[in-house]
Each structure stands twice: as structure tokens, then as C-alpha cells.
Structure 1
Amino acid sequence: MPTPQVPSSRGFYQALLFLALTIPAHIHALPASPRSTNQVNDESSGGTLRGSLSLQGQIPNEVDSANSAVVSPYDMAPGQDADASLGIPFTWENTDEPQPIRGSYGATDPGPQTYAYSKLNPDIVAPPISDKGSVDNPKWPMELSHNRILPDGAGWARQENTDVLPLASEMAGVDMRLAPGAYRELHWHSASEWAYVLNGSVRVQAFNENGQAFVDDVQTGDVWFFPPGVPHSLQALDQGCEFLLVFDQGDFDDSGTGMISEMFLRTPKEVLSKNFNAPLSDFDDLPTDELYIFNGTPAPKLSAQNTTGPGGVVQGNQSYTYHLSKQSAYEVPGGNIKIIDPLNFPLASMFSAALVTIEPGAMRELHWHSTSDEWGFFIAGEGRVTAYEPPSTGGTFDFQAGDVSYVPAMFSHYIENTGTEDIVFLEVLKAPEFTDISVGQWLKLTPEQIVKDTLHLPQSLLDGLSPNKQYIVQGDKNLTALAGGSGTA
């Protein structure tokens, strides 16, 4: 038998290196041997990072009743203890520690919780038992949108799109503020822009493919519209302004618009010189970055900026603005409504809207839209909305001023004023006409026998229905009037 050869030290280490490089990582990375309990707890100060292995599994008499969950004394809101089937709206405004209880449903919540959220959303924390399943979230507070604030006090802008409200696939919104004299720079975008002035006043300027110019001043309550690709700019007048922009793309991003400052920066100066027949030196002072929102020279009188080109001026049914603030509201018991759609603002061919005022206790009647999703914005007040998603899902949500709401087409819904001040609500559709299906009108104009056989409603109720669309229905300002289980809301 031959004598085994002992490798030289160099060959030995080469062999070890070969093994280290060829053995799979999961094989040569062997686990360390378990440490002792003393090693686990061997911390020099401040307690231990890891507990003893003996804490695994069953520990006799482990439960310490002294540390069991405890809820401190709490108050029920008026109407919260009413029969849960009534679905009475209630507010936790004067309740320190709101609890997820409605009538005999629910139980206390020992925490952790942020009571401020609960107070804003009682119908999410303690929903009516008529809710069923899970409706996609239809609510986004614009104040939770990341705000883009601009230098020198020029203004700010925040947006809602599918990044924060995935349900809102058809429309997106931007809330923008311009300081007095500040501009939203000359720009254009691929989406249609419909706007409502929330406060202040602003000069609107635009230009179209036919070489026609347009300039107009609008104020609180007025509207403008720009089709895709139409270049335009905005400048706040003396008071400054805030406005709401609605775009017909759910994933619209306001930071992705085409801007004239960026266009000039991305075009070679030689090309600019040739295009404008100007010396290169004329472009020495171009902005070094996009402007977006910036301070400017205060706007002169409107007449000083009227510009007429070879195509004339934009006017009549091609006008980009509509003075909705001067339109009389349609008054009904419980509030009023203004409708603006292509029938009175033809240029906005697929934007239809209603500006709805709902008095305390009243509600926007039960309805749905058959041709469009509804993008909504609460300008003032607070209320609740129940969205019914066919065939059998429903969810109730609470809204406050500054919130965006979104209800898909075919979902029935209402807006009930649960506060002490008027709700002012903007209801926007992507549609050639503002239309809805009124549930009350539907029942009235359906043969009574069919309604009775289906819903077992009494004749007195059917007699009280109106053949006309109500839009808003009046209600008792005392929202807990039905807490006793009888009466009419």
C-alpha cells in the first residue's frame, strides 16, 4: 500500500481556497453553534436585547389580569345608542374618546387609536349596519396631498390622482393658489382642464390653433376650460386666488405639463436664434429652470392686454370662460343647484357639473349617473355619503370641506348634510350633459302595482312622490329625531 503524500503547506492552502470557491454558499456558510442563555442575555447595560430561550411555548399562569385591556369611561354621542338598523348620523364633536359602537353592535376599542381620525369618520368607525362588503375608498382629503410650495411666496399646488385615490380612474384634481400678481406660467397639457375659482380673482389667457387669442378676468364661482394642447397662462389679480382644476385623466400629474420655460431650455440656442430671427444674445437671460408658479408684474387693466391676431379673437361658443357666479341658482326646499354643461358652455364638450348647496338636515337626493363617474369636491360643510355598488355592496363615508369624493357610474349615492352649516359641493361628470337617475322620480313614474309588489311600500308614500326630479330634499335639522324609532327624518 503506497504511503499517502502529505501536501506542502502551499498546496494545502490552495486546496482550501479551491474548496471555498466551489462549495455552494448555503453549504460552506455553516450556522454558528447556539449560544448559551447567558450569552443571549450578556448585555453590559440597559437591559437585554434578546430574552431567554426559556420564554418559548407554554408558561403556566401567564395571564396577568391586572394588565388586561381597559377602556376608560366614555360618552356615547347623541343618536349613537339608537337601534343600529336606523343608521342615524351622529357626531363625536363633544366626545373625548369615541368608540366603535352603534346601538347594540360593535364593542369598545382600548387602543391604540388617534381620536381625531375617529371624530372625522364616525360612519367608518361605527358604520350603519346597512353597509355590506367593501366599497373601494371613495375619499381623499386634499390636505393630505403633498404640497408643492414655491419660492418668494408665489403660491402652491397640491393634487389628487390615482396615486392617492386609485378608484378615481377617469378624473384627477389640482388645488392651486397664486399670490397677488403671481403666474401659473405659459403651458399646455395632454388632458382637458376644467376649473372652478374657489376664491379671489384671476386673469385667464389662451391661444388656439387658428391664431386666435383670448383674455378674460374671472372671480369666485366662475369657470374656465381648455381643451388638450391649447397653450394658456393664469395670473392672480389684486386679491390673489385659489382654484380647483379637474382633468379628464385619472393619472394626470400636474408636474408633467409642457412649459414654455422648459421648451426654451431644451431647444438649442442656434435654433431659437433662427426661429425668431434674433441674435443669440437675446437668449442670455432665459430662466435656468422651469418656472411653474412665480411672481410677476401686477396685471394691468384687462383692455390693455386684449390682443387681436389675423384670426381675430376667441368669442361666443368658443370662449374659454363662463361666469357661473352670475348665473341664478335653481332654488328647491333644502338648498339650490346650478348646472353648467355643454348646453350652456359648449366648448367644454365632455365636462358637466353641478354646484350644489345643501342646507343642514337636507340631502342631495338618492341618485346615480348612468353615463359617467362622478368626481366631487366639498367646498364647505360636512356630510356623509353611502355608495351602493351593484349587486350587493355598500359603504358609508364621511366628508369634510377640502375632501375629494369619487363615485363610479351606476353606483347609487346621496349626500346628507350632517353638520350645522351649508354644504357647498361641486359635482363633476365626464359627459356631454349633466344627467342623473332620480330614485324618487323613478318610483313615481313606475306603475304603482310593480312598486308595491316589489318593495311593499304603502300608498301614502307613493302618493307623496314627485314626478319631477328633486335634486335636493329637505330634512329635519335634528338628525337624531328618529332615535326613538318613529317619525320622519
Structure 2
Amino acid sequence: MARHTSVPRLALLSLVAIGSVSCAPASNPGLRGSEELLGYNPTNVLSQENTNDVGDYELLPGQKEDANIGEYLDFSNVDNPQPIRGSKGGTDPGPRTPALDKLFSDRLAPPGTDHGDVGNAQWSLALSKVKQGKKNAGWSRQQNVDVLPDATAMAGVDMRLEPNGYRELHWHVASEWALMLNGSARVQAVQEDGKTFVDDVSAGDVWFFPAGVPHSIQALEGGCEFMLVFDDGSFSEDNTFLASEIIAHNPKSVLAQNLNVNVSAFDDIPDGELFIFPGTAAPTDIQKQNVTSSAGTLQGKDSYTYHFSEQEPREVAGGSVKILDPLTFPIASKFSAALVTIKPGAMREIHWHPSSPEWSFFIAGTARATLFKPPNTATTFDYHAGDVGYFPQSESHYIQNVGEDDVILLEVLQADHFADISLGQWLALTPHQIVKDTLNISEEDINKFPTEKPVVVAAPSG
């Protein structure tokens, strides 16, 4: 990435230091300067470089208006964006990374309504280290409190499996909720009573495995990618219980006795974890893999999958939304989610969740959000496809589509049903005199507030 750097001044300082080397003690040749450089000395060199030389730059129209209007600044075609809004801010001669300034314009030139710092509510999975599977079978990358400290209630793992690739047999201390992003996969699990479960899922479908339930995932033809959400912000892929490691770290004689086989059965066990690895293609007939005991199979309301892709969304003026929570997917007792589509210029209304923080994954598009924390702290963040957002319980926020394509957003709560409070509906349904006395807004304007929750507000007309 290109960087704007005040090279002349840095070079001058280097020359000054080099010029003083001859005065340094003989025991320190070439490494340290003279003691005469400490504090005031009439021989000190004062750089006369013009530190205001920031080069050519242009201000977008939104940078010239009142900072409190705070419209989105699209720096994508601006060569030298500057941290200026209205009468606030000033120029930046560098050093800096303009490519990042263009991506996160609300960090460089925040709206005037921002105040203080709410803590970080954004993480790009592109910054997460990729953990690579064996023989090009896939990869994963994760977000947890190590990179997003405020996200204590949930963590996420983005995982890709190539065709026939496995996420090996394993279980977690945390519960696992997943949304298929693309492709198809076969998931399998065994319950504590011996009931078995096998199902195929495709893009848009969901699965859930409670803590401690052993399971595996195999990509079908074409491979797949999915987003895993765990109910523990400190979750790490490296702390997963793996079948390969269990077998490797128990005495072979104990394994033979326990599994009713000869010790020789373990002569060719894997050397260490498999994690993600290539495998034999799954049979088309799923029943061929449905091994059962006297307990039978897991069915009905206790099923571990939900074919969310087949649920019709509710269309609203600014996009669409569909909700999945324990009311329709009972096994996922504390996972409630909304899949929201926001059209260009539209916004997920200002809202908050009264019973849970919100963990969000941006599947597509470009968006911004302002997170408000009482009593008077607010910070605006920018989001792109592949980013995670985290909004603490009861802290208000919106999601505004500032790009040219639809924003597709997954909102996940730790709650027994999906619930949010709409700012617009709250004010519209409060006695108007109270609103007028509190906010000094006219009756005419209050009558325009939505009495029905809009969920996604359409782009302004005209």
C-alpha cells in the first residue's frame, strides 16, 4: 500500500544524528549521539520544513457541511482523504496508509455527533490468521475476545471445506450455531442417549450442536463455506476436542480394551490432529451413513438442522428480513438470529436488543453503524463483507447501506426469542406532548414517526 510520509524531515533528523557521531564517546562509535544533544544548546538544528505540506487534496461535499449532519463520506475515489468535517479536524501530512483511510472513512473523519469512544465494535476477518487444513482440504479463521475484547458473549469462525473435505470428528465446551454461506455439506452427530443424526444442508441453512455433542462436517460436491457462532467470546478453534488427539493420547492397551479390538488396530492412527483433511466422497443416499443403535435417530423438534434457506423472508420497504429462534428451532435454546437484506441507501433502523448483545456478520455489501453508550458516548464504524460487528446489550445502533449493492447481514443474539426495540416506534407510540416537551420536535413531524416497526427503512426519496 502506498504511504504518505514526511520523508524530508525524517531524513534531516537522520543527518543531524549522523553528524553528531564524531562527538560521541569513543566507546560508542556510530551508534549513539553526543550528550550535547540533550536539552537546550545554541548549536541545536531546528528543522524549517513546512509540515503543512500535505500535497493536493479535495474535500467531498459532505466534509464542507455541518459536521453534525454526518453523511457518509465515500473516499474510494479520493486520492488523499483528510480528517476534516465542517469546522472540525485538520490536515494530515502523514505517515499514514491511505488505503485504510478509504475503507474506514468514519474513523478518519467521524461525524460531529460522535463523542468519546465506546470501545471497538468492528473486526475484519481478513485480519485474522488463516489456519490451514491438510492437503488443500480447506481452512478456517476466527474472531474472539483476543481481537474484539468487548465481544464476551459470542465468537465466530469462518470455515471453508473443499469438495469431500472433513472438519474432523470433534466437540466443544461451547455450543455451536452455524449458517451455510455457500455450497453444501453433510453434518452428523451422536446424542448422549445414542440417538444419531445425519442431514445435508446447503447455502442459507442452519445447524446447531449443543456443548459436548460430538459431530463432524463434510463438504459435498463443490465444497462449502460456513460461519460458526459460539456462545463464548473466548472460544478458540485450538481448544476443540478432536477424535484424532483423543486416540493419540490414550494408551493403546486401554483403547483396545475399551473399543473391543486388538492393539494392532491402532498401528496406523494419525500423527497429531487432522483438523481439516480430504476424505472419501459421501454417498448420495444419506441412509447409507445413518448408523443407529437401539435408541434410533434424532427427529422432529430435537433435530440439529433447520432448512432456513426455504423460509420466505418478510419484504419491507428497505429490504427484507427473516428470523430464526427457539420458537421454530427449539434445540438451539439460546440462539436467535435475523438474516437482513438492506437495499442501497436504506438502513436497518435505530434499535437495541433488551435481552442480549448482538453479534453480527456482514455477508455482503458496505455499511456503517453508530453505536451509542450512555450517558453520552457514540462512535461510528464502517463495515465491509467479511467483517464482524458487536453491539452490547441495550446499546442503540443502526446499520446503513452506504454502497451500491445490497448489504446482507446476519444478526445473532443469545436469547430465547429474537427481540429488539425500535427508536422510531417508541417515540411514535409515546404521548406526543411528552416527546414535544423532551425533544422540542413539532407535532407535525412526530406524526410522521412510524407506529409500526419498519425494521429496514427505505432510502430517502429523490
How does the TM-score come out when normalised to structure 1? 0.87
Shift of 1:65: 2.9
Shift of 1:470: 1.0
Shift of 1:306: 2.3
Which amino acid in structure 2 is aligned with residue 419 of structure 1?
G
Structure 1 unmatched ranges of 5 or more:
1-35, 479-489
Measured at CA, do residues 261 and 443 of structure 1 come closer, stay the same or move farther in structure 2, by a change above 3 Å? same
Shift of 1:75: 1.5
Contact in 2 for aligned 1:387/1:394 (Cα 8 Å): yes
Shift of 1:42: 5.7
| Secondary structure of the structure 2 residue equivalent to 1:243 | strand
The answer to whether structure 1 residue 121 and structure 2 residue 113 are counterparts is no
* 24, 27, 31: which one aligns with 1:40: 24
Q: Measure, in 2, the Cα distance between the counterparts of 1:466 and 1:104.
A: 34
1:397-412 equivalences under 5 Å are 397-412=381-396
Tell me which residue corresponds to 1:16: none
* 177, 192, 195: which one aligns with 1:209: 192
* 383, 386, 389: which one aligns with 2:373: 389
Tell me which residue corresponds to 1:20: none
Measured at CA, do residues 126 and 232 of structure 1 come closer, stay the same or move farther in structure 2, by a change above 3 Å? same
Tell me which residue corresponds to 1:361: 345
Tell me which residue corresponds to 1:370: 354
Tell me which residue corresponds to 1:298: 281
Which amino acid in structure 1 is aligned with residue 224 of structure 2?
C
Tell me which residue corresponds to 1:12: none
The answer to whether structure 1 residue 236 and structure 2 residue 216 are counterparts is no
1:335-354 equivalences under 5 Å are 335-354=319-338
Shift of 1:275: 1.4
1:426-445 equivalences under 5 Å are 426-445=410-429
Contact in 1 for aligned 2:21/2:32 (Cα 8 Å): no
Shift of 1:82: 1.8
1:18-37 equivalences under 5 Å are none
Tell me which residue corresponds to 2:35: 53
Q: Measure, in 2, the Cα distance between the counterparts of 1:303 and 1:466.
A: 51
| Secondary structure of the structure 1 residue equivalent to 2:68 | helix
Farther off after superposition, 147-156 or 326-335: 147-156
Measured at CA, do residues 39 and 102 of structure 1 come closer, stay the same or move farther in structure 2, by a change above 3 Å? closer
The answer to whether structure 1 residue 225 and structure 2 residue 208 are counterparts is yes
Q: Measure, in 1, the Cα distance between the counterparts of 2:107 and 2:447.
A: 35
The answer to whether structure 1 residue 155 and structure 2 residue 129 are counterparts is no
Q: Measure, in 1, the Cα distance between the counterparts of 2:132 and 2:461.
A: 40
Shift of 1:77: 2.6
Shift of 1:184: 0.4
Farther off after superposition, 242-251 or 443-452: 443-452
Once the two structures are superposed, residues 330-354 of structure 1 have per-residue CA deviations (whole angstroms, 9 ceiling, x without a partner) of: 0000100010000111110000000
Contact in 1 for aligned 2:166/2:217 (Cα 8 Å): yes
Shift of 1:52: 3.2
Once the two structures are superposed, residues 159-218 of structure 1 have per-residue CA deviations (whole angstroms, 9 ceiling, x without a partner) of: 100011101011000011111001001111111100001111110101101211111110
Farther off after superposition, 458-467 or 277-286: 458-467
Contact in 1 for aligned 2:134/2:274 (Cα 8 Å): no
The answer to whether structure 1 residue 329 and structure 2 residue 313 are counterparts is yes
Shift of 1:67: 4.7
Shift of 1:255: 1.2
Q: Measure, in 1, the Cα distance between the counterparts of 2:50 and 2:25.
A: 25
Measured at CA, do residues 477 and 419 of structure 1 come closer, stay the same or move farther in structure 2, by a change above 3 Å? farther
Once the two structures are superposed, residues 118-160 of structure 1 have per-residue CA deviations (whole angstroms, 9 ceiling, x without a partner) of: 1111111111111111111011101101111122101111110
Measured at CA, do residues 39 and 103 of structure 1 come closer, stay the same or move farther in structure 2, by a change above 3 Å? closer
Q: Measure, in 2, the Cα distance between the counterparts of 1:61 and 1:68.
A: 19
Q: Measure, in 2, the Cα distance between the counterparts of 1:159 and 1:137.
A: 17
* 121, 124, 131: which one aligns with 1:138: 121
Contact in 1 for aligned 2:21/2:31 (Cα 8 Å): no
Q: Measure, in 2, the Cα distance between the counterparts of 1:252 and 1:407.
A: 18
Question: How big is the alpha-carbon RMSD for the aligned residues of Structure 1 and Structure 2?
Answer: 1.8
Contact in 2 for aligned 1:363/1:473 (Cα 8 Å): yes
Tell me which residue corresponds to 2:46: 63
- Computing the radius of gyration from Cα coordinates, the structure with the larger value is 1
Contact in 2 for aligned 1:172/1:247 (Cα 8 Å): yes
Q: Measure, in 2, the Cα distance between the counterparts of 1:64 and 1:142.
A: 42
* 73, 79, 82: which one aligns with 2:62: 79
Once the two structures are superposed, residues 349-383 of structure 1 have per-residue CA deviations (whole angstroms, 9 ceiling, x without a partner) of: 00000000001110000100110000001000011
Shift of 1:274: 1.1
Shift of 1:80: 2.0
Tell me which residue corresponds to 2:8: none
Aligned residues: 441
Q: Measure, in 2, the Cα distance between the counterparts of 1:471 and 1:219.
A: 27
Which amino acid in structure 1 is aligned with residue 62 of structure 2?
G
Q: Measure, in 2, the Cα distance between the counterparts of 1:232 and 1:100.
A: 50
Tell me which residue corresponds to 2:76: 93
Contact in 2 for aligned 1:80/1:102 (Cα 8 Å): yes
Structure 2 unmatched ranges of 5 or more:
1-19
Percent of residue pairs identical? 54
Q: Measure, in 2, the Cα distance between the counterparts of 1:92 and 1:317.
A: 49
Which amino acid in structure 2 is aligned with residue 117 of structure 1?
L
The answer to whether structure 1 residue 462 and structure 2 residue 443 are counterparts is no
Contact in 2 for aligned 1:41/1:49 (Cα 8 Å): no
Q: Measure, in 1, the Cα distance between the counterparts of 2:146 and 2:277.
A: 26
Q: Measure, in 1, the Cα distance between the counterparts of 2:327 and 2:66.
A: 46
The answer to whether structure 1 residue 266 and structure 2 residue 249 are counterparts is yes
Which amino acid in structure 2 is aligned with residue 50 of structure 1?
R
Q: Measure, in 1, the Cα distance between the counterparts of 2:271 and 2:461.
A: 57
Measured at CA, do residues 308 and 64 of structure 1 come closer, stay the same or move farther in structure 2, by a change above 3 Å? closer
